[in-house]
Amino acid sequence: MHQSALKHQRDLHVAIIMDGNGRWATARGLPRAAGHERGADAVRRTVEAAPGLGIRTLSLYAFSSDNWRRPRAEVRALLALFAAHLRSETPTLATRGARLRVIGRRDRLPPSLTAAIAAAEARTAAGCALDLRIAIDYSARDAIVRAAARLAPGETGRAAFARQLGQAYGVDDAPDVDLVVRTGGEQRLSDFLLWECAYAELHFTPRAWPDFGAEDLATAVADFRGRTRRFGDIAAGARS
Segment 143-190, tens digit of pLDDT: 999 999 999 888 889 999 999 999 988 888 899 999 999 999 999 999
The proportion of the chain whose per-residue pLDDT surpasses 90, expressed as a percent, equals 83
What pTM was computed for the model?
0.91
Q: Domains, the chain, ranges and CATH?
A: 14-137+178-187+199-227 (3.40.1180.10)
Active site residue 19: yes
DSSP labels, 165-231: HHHHTTSS--PPPSEEEE-TT--S-TTSSTTTTTT-EEEE--S-GGG--HHHHHHHHHHHHTSPP-T
- 67, 176, 211, 223: the active-site residue: 67
The proportion of the chain whose per-residue pLDDT surpasses 70, expressed as a percent, equals 92
Active site residue 67: yes
- 19, 131, 178, 216: the active-site residue: 19
